[in-house]
Amino acid sequence: MEHVFRHRGVHTLSDRVSAPVHDVPFEPPAWARALRVHLSYDRTAGTIDLGCEGPDGFRGWSGGAREEYTIAPEWATPGYLPGEPEPGTWRVLLGLYRVPEEGLPYEVTISAYDTPPALTEALGALGALGAQDAVPPGERPPPAAVRRGLPGLSGLTWAAGDLHAHTVHSDGALTVPQLAGHARDLGLDFLAVTDHNTTSHHPELPAAARASGVTLIPGQEVTTDLGHANAFGEMSWIDFRRPPETWAHAADAAGGVLSINHPVAADCAWRHPPGIGAHAAEIWHWSWWDRTWGAPLAWAGAWSPNPVMLGGSDFHRPEDGHPPGSPTTWILAEDPSAPASIVNAIRAGRTAVSASPDGPLLLRHGPDFLVLDAEGLILWGPAIRHVIQAPLTTLPAQPGPHRLETPRNEIIALCT
């Protein structure tokens, strides 16, 4: 049995100004065991994000990446949470990301089924079966600290990874297992999976981590028109519709970390108030394509006198040209195989950033700076200017953020 609801309307600029997210309420019949929602509008004229909220709370988000989703008892479209549709009022969420002056007509079609559709039928066009995928074969490289000969420090170990990547659960091209295998083949120790405004990928992370040997950190990219932030750690969904101060509170309550993302990245720049209680900031992002450009470091200095600086590739698909680990974030952690240990190290500020896992490296290692593979570069900080002349250099550490740069002022590495 199938029952179909249809809703037609026109979103205006006034709608977009009044609230970034609108909804279409509906009440499925009592016999419904699966729901399918389809959104139609002229994608050449504007952009409407798509999501779902059930009577018991948030059920998923796909932004502008999809025009349709299905929620069934045992499975759901990536980005959405499976489960029996509970009785009551449901809401199709519509984010008004881009609306033209003349308005944007749209149609929402909601189908309720008494028999859930087959998983292969619904996801055949997507070509991804999520956790059912096998991790692509490949030999696990040695850990980055071993590969690069980095010493430990009082029971702590350096690990190399990426803190910003997406899968088919939002607008990425790879499944969670495929992404984990890709990170492994690139020599990363850890990877945060940070799909937009959803946690539907979290259940897949442990199995993919075991299969790949890469530590996978639960993450979510809290995404709004005025800026994005990554929340790292085991926590429930963060409501992006609420003020950003509440995001940091939610992360704190769960023992996680909130990081402001790509604060000066074109239309995704951070335009919320800076003082929201975030623990770190993604200063090095792929959008920093000319690293002689000083705006990201200037923002970091204005944001905090001693910022915890992170890097993230913001990986979506291989053809984009910025693979996981470009840039690489280095973490000094108690146990790099444990996601919580990585998160705790970020909170403690034990971080550094390099262009790649094997690129020149600047680390704050206890009372010293360790500078690796950086001959001819300049160590630059508030009270130090030093030309590096050896493959491994040790210098007394100074307070504050430091960097390695070329003679033409191109940033090569950062150190919190």
- Looking at residue 120, its pLDDT comes to 58
- Give the side-chain half-sphere CA count within 13 A for 98: 10
pTM summary value: 0.95
Q: What sign does the CA torsion over 335, 339, 340, 346 have? A: positive
pLDDT class of 129 with cuts at 50, 70, 90: very low
Mean pLDDT of 260-282: 96
Q: CA 7, CA 116: separation in Å to the nearest integer?
A: 23
Give the pair of three-digit tokens for residue 323.
Answer: 């693979």
Per-residue pLDDT tens digits for 324-377: 999 999 999 999 999 999 999 999 999 999 999 999 999 999 999 999 999 999
Q: 33-47, 106-120, 125-139: lowest mean pLDDT where?
A: 125-139
Domains of the chain: 2-117 (2.60.120.380), 144-359 (3.20.20.140)
Residue 123 has pLDDT above 90, yes or no: no
> For residue 94, what are the β-bridge partners?
22, 50
Q: CA 159, CA 328: separation in Å to the nearest integer?
A: 10
Q: Could you tell me if 168 and 316 are in contact, meaning their C-beta atoms sit under 8 angstroms apart?
A: no
Mean pLDDT of 271-300: 96
Nearest to 170 by CA among 135, 191, 201, 124: 201
- Looking at residue 134, its pLDDT comes to 67
Residue 130 has pLDDT above 60, yes or no: no
87-102: string of b/e by CB count within 10 Å (b at 16+)? Answer: eeebbbbbbbbebeee
Mean pLDDT of all residues belonging to the chain: 95
Give, as one character, the DSSP assignment of residue 143.
Answer: P
Mean pLDDT of 169-198: 98
Helices 205-212 and 176-185: crossing angle, nearest 10°?
30
Nearest to 51 by CA among 77, 83, 85: 77
Look at the block and give the residue holding tokens 């189908």: 111
Mean pLDDT of 183-206: 98
Residue 191 has pLDDT above 80, yes or no: yes
Three-class SS state of 293: coil
- % of the chain beyond a pLDDT of 70: 96
- Looking at residue 137, its pLDDT comes to 72
- Give the side-chain half-sphere CA count within 13 A for 305: 2
Give the pair of three-digit tokens for residue 378.
Answer: 């300049």
Single-letter residue type at 279: H
Residue 59 has pLDDT above 80, yes or no: yes
With vertex at residue 225, the alpha carbon angle to CA 277 and CA 242, rounded to the nearest 5 degrees, is 50
